Structure 1
């Protein structure tokens, strides 16, 4: 199983995708960056002043017997601390000039992707759109703000502190810099593998969650196909993959903690150990105290914040930006094209040629469709011909392309290649009067029973409505509601009752082509059989995505989509030619599907 997340071993792919637009974004805001740099220079001066003033308050003031000078230098240090408040205020005021345009740009991108998915993607809806517009965009905004603050503060604070150490005595840098740079280098070395480990952990978690959700939704098919043990083994492997990714992530987190310890604690220890050596080279007591001030008040807090922010916010920002701005508009949904039974997308289908005779009710010519530019085809080169008045049942595991096929015929989905024709006319991607599609989730609106039944046939009279009620076996349900003129409360109906009303509505539809996408799944077997027989007697063509194998037995012909090839024929013909159909029929005869 593949995850919806594109995982690259070092995260360089995401960086390559994000890098150019990020540079263009910053290049258009040079004024904001210059003003931020000015405020940051003030912060560097403040960091320099505090340690320098403390050092001279000791050497030139208190140790020299000049208390007044010592207090003046301490007052200068206090002024440096107080000046930090307006500096921070100025930095945050300019920061909005970067974060808010970024947020606006990400929202526009998320909306564009959602609209693109609605127009061209699977299912017509984007369930991740709300997360991208709210949670992910805000994560990106907050992470970006944190990174800007942290990187800016570290660079300028470190510059001020290091300049202060150099001004006090060059030997101080000899002691402090090696462990500081060593810990920082070790931390930077963990960034790419840590990001890759985080992405692998995220991918493994999503793959496991997707496996669990799809297995739960396909329990019926798993039982019918006898593939339950395979799915258990697959789930076990995914759990092991997720555990391995979590252990790798924990290992790199331990290395990062070690880097933080090296950079955050060794400089102080090295300075303590080197005090005799430094005193021998003329480093004064005040310079030592100033050096400890630079470490404790400036360098080490800035370094700790930098490591924490880059390790957490940086990785989150990279992943979220790649999600929101990535090239594939619906990466998570391409997995739905993978069949449960075989684990592969359907290769080219076996042709179902059209013979001489009247214009077919439905005709597919070399139809190919995939969800997303990098996804394997759900239908690949499928040819199909359905004669007028024929009853066709479509059978196959969940996710194999049965609903996709009906959407293509209904005109709500356009193929990538090939042609779909209904009643001899090409389908252009918009629904027309020649067909009626009844989905699994039946729609019943607040109105009278008669209005619901006549929705697709406004000219239907009372006799037509009564005939539909009798044909679909709805007499008891209509009487319980209060008759055809009684108001329907959709929330008061069971899923099966709503499906029964939708089927009666389709029965009254004047469309010569009726498409049922598991529209009887909430009915019991007897009610389903009665409904399908009534709809088959109705003038026109009936194409049914079978919920039970009994639907296939009742049909004139059966189309089996099994992930290897499409097989079409009568029940007996398909039994002889399709191993999957034989397995399904065997399980059905044994009882699980009845």
Structure 2
């Protein structure tokens, strides 16, 4: 529970929180003056034979109630400034966790439910908790100020049982959260078992295993019933805490009434103290206990499940996902899209040395993009291994490699946000250098500079690719894979981009769209569907019939115009 409370506390932004506190001040006014107004109305008005004065004092109570209503409206107006950023953070956590699971090849069937249902549960209960806790604190402070203004002796009588009930309730929250969590898990297990039994009803009946199936469900039902009984016990304990903190002060004040009168306390002061208890502390404590003990527990349990699901899995490998070097090594790699499909990559072995520029060529559909995904750890090979610096490719930190696909992604936002998405700490000078190196200066000038808003639909495919390429260039990952990431650029722009990445350093793998891209590489990998052949241009022309066919229509002096896939 402490982890969940820390996450919720860290989400409170300072300025919206201060605005909420400021809006709570007028809301506290009715609680602060109610008992005082009643005391003055009784002592100076009705008991003094001046009913007009008494009514005037009660009129003050109506005015303060109106002021409190204005404060309440302002509170709810400010509430969204706290809850919506918290919801956005949860959405980022859920989506990030789902993406990490997808990259690692782990099934994540609950991601959609977490995004559409559990996030909303947490957001709604979070808002309810803010309102309840803030209202309780505001009321308690107002009542305390009012009691001290009437008679400190009344405050000394009321506060001990109230604080005792409050502390006792807070002490139950830890094990109450555990019981709430156990109830949720038991409910999920019952649903899973019942679903499995219902799906297999025909098999159960056919094999005469009804008793066994009934026993499976009965065990889950018993577990769920026990968890619900435990929750009921928590609810009873919660009620006992409220009785101590809510009704205890009232009883103490009633029993102490004669003694207080003997000490010179007026009837109005005693009645004012009772007003503070009945219309201030008691409703505030009841609402606080009900919301925190109900919605609060659901908040903690649901948020805990979101945090568990979105947390990155512990990496027990040496280096914690940081490769010892930047070499990419494939050994006997085979991959097929399905158990009965023909392999797209078959028994491929390849080593790409640190700093090397490798081009991959081959006919469309031969497996070039699949190879790129294997190199970056986005998919796991059916056979063989893919390693970066000795680590499995899917265990390497995302910061160690960047894959830019053919369809580049640009989101609605500023040019700066799009360019620095992978490197938020980049300086203006670094971004300037990247934009110039990749030939994107004219594009940024046309759009209006870094602060201009981008409308992705108004950009051409080549312009979107330039955004993605600058983004990857700034990331400075040791491995960059361009999967036809320049196919919508003209040959001159493509050359500018590839040469810029080559000068930047690191390992560069280019899924070539033009033969000219292959000619700029240190080595070329030719994929033909059965094996891969590696060499330079001269060697491959002499040894690979497929490569000769790919460059067969190459016009001397215009290699940039030849498309091979």
Q: TM-score range by the shorter chain?
A: 0.5 to 0.7
Deviation by residue 1:230-251 (Cα, 9 ceiling, x = unmatched)? 6655444333222221211111
SS at match of 2:11: helix
Q: CA deviation at 1:91?
A: 1.0
Looking at structure 2, the residues matched to 144 and 361 of structure 1 have their Cα atoms a distance apart, in angstroms, of 49
Looking at structure 2, the residues matched to 236 and 263 of structure 1 have their Cα atoms a distance apart, in angstroms, of 41
Q: What residue in structure 2 maps to residue 264 of structure 1? A: 246
1:175 and 2:161 equivalent? no
Contact 1:54/1:74, CA 8 A, preserved across alignment: yes
Which of residues 45, 48, 70 in structure 1 aligns to 2:32?
48
Q: What residue in structure 2 maps to residue 338 of structure 1? A: none
Q: Tell me the number of residue pairs that the alignment of Structure 1 and Structure 2 aligns.
A: 340
1:88 and 2:85 equivalent? no
Which of residues 86, 111, 122 in structure 2 aligns to 1:129?
111
Q: What residue in structure 1 maps to residue 196 of structure 2? A: 214
Which of residues 292, 300, 307 in structure 1 aligns to 2:274?
292
- Counting only pairs closer than 5 Å after superposition, residues 192-591 of structure 1 correspond to structure 2 as 192-217=174-199, 233-327=215-309, 414=379, 419=384
Q: CA deviation at 1:211?
A: 2.3
Q: What residue in structure 2 maps to residue 22 of structure 1? A: 8
Looking at structure 1, the residues matched to 282 and 381 of structure 2 have their Cα atoms a distance apart, in angstroms, of 58
Distance 1:62 1:265, change over 3 A: same
Q: CA deviation at 1:304?
A: 0.7
Looking at structure 2, the residues matched to 156 and 50 of structure 1 have their Cα atoms a distance apart, in angstroms, of 14
SS at match of 1:243: helix
1:110 and 2:75 equivalent? no
1:63 and 2:47 equivalent? yes
Deviation by residue 1:524-581 (Cα, 9 ceiling, x = unmatched)? xxxxxxxxxxxxxxxxxxxxxxxxxxxxxxxxxxxxxxxxxxxxxxxxxxxxxxxxxx
Looking at structure 2, the residues matched to 190 and 258 of structure 1 have their Cα atoms a distance apart, in angstroms, of 11
Q: CA deviation at 1:206?
A: 1.0
Unaligned runs of 5+ in 1: 1-11, 332-359, 365-410, 422-427, 430-510, 513-594
Instruction: Answer with 85-94 or 226-235: which moved more.
Output: 226-235
Contact 1:50/1:78, CA 8 A, preserved across alignment: no
Q: What residue in structure 2 maps to residue 542 of structure 1? A: none
Distance 1:233 1:173, change over 3 A: same
1:33 and 2:11 equivalent? no
SS at match of 1:65: coil
Looking at structure 2, the residues matched to 153 and 54 of structure 1 have their Cα atoms a distance apart, in angstroms, of 22
TM-score (norm 2): 0.53
Q: What residue in structure 2 maps to residue 402 of structure 1? A: none
Contact 2:29/2:67, CA 8 A, preserved across alignment: no
Looking at structure 2, the residues matched to 416 and 70 of structure 1 have their Cα atoms a distance apart, in angstroms, of 85
Looking at structure 2, the residues matched to 363 and 108 of structure 1 have their Cα atoms a distance apart, in angstroms, of 32
Distance 1:236 1:362, change over 3 A: farther
Instruction: Answer with 42-51 or 153-162: which moved more.
Output: 42-51
Deviation by residue 1:216-235 (Cα, 9 ceiling, x = unmatched)? 44678889999987665544
SS at match of 1:419: strand
Contact 1:50/1:81, CA 8 A, preserved across alignment: no
Distance 1:322 1:416, change over 3 A: farther
Looking at structure 1, the residues matched to 209 and 71 of structure 2 have their Cα atoms a distance apart, in angstroms, of 65
Unaligned runs of 5+ in 2: 314-331, 337-373, 387-392, 395-528, 531-565
SS at match of 1:282: coil
Deviation by residue 1:445-467 (Cα, 9 ceiling, x = unmatched)? xxxxxxxxxxxxxxxxxxxxxxx
Looking at structure 1, the residues matched to 128 and 184 of structure 2 have their Cα atoms a distance apart, in angstroms, of 22
Contact 2:161/2:244, CA 8 A, preserved across alignment: yes
- Counting only pairs closer than 5 Å after superposition, residues 182-193 of structure 1 correspond to structure 2 as 182-193=164-175
| CA RMSD of superposed structures (Å) | 4.0
Q: CA deviation at 1:266?
A: 2.6
Looking at structure 2, the residues matched to 174 and 100 of structure 1 have their Cα atoms a distance apart, in angstroms, of 41
Deviation by residue 1:277-298 (Cα, 9 ceiling, x = unmatched)? 2211122111122112111221
Distance 1:181 1:72, change over 3 A: same
Looking at structure 2, the residues matched to 138 and 363 of structure 1 have their Cα atoms a distance apart, in angstroms, of 40
Deviation by residue 1:40-97 (Cα, 9 ceiling, x = unmatched)? 2333333112221111111122222334432332222221111111111111121111
Contact 2:334/2:381, CA 8 A, preserved across alignment: no
SS at match of 1:165: helix
SS at match of 1:326: helix
Contact 1:110/1:324, CA 8 A, preserved across alignment: yes
Looking at structure 1, the residues matched to 285 and 333 of structure 2 have their Cα atoms a distance apart, in angstroms, of 71
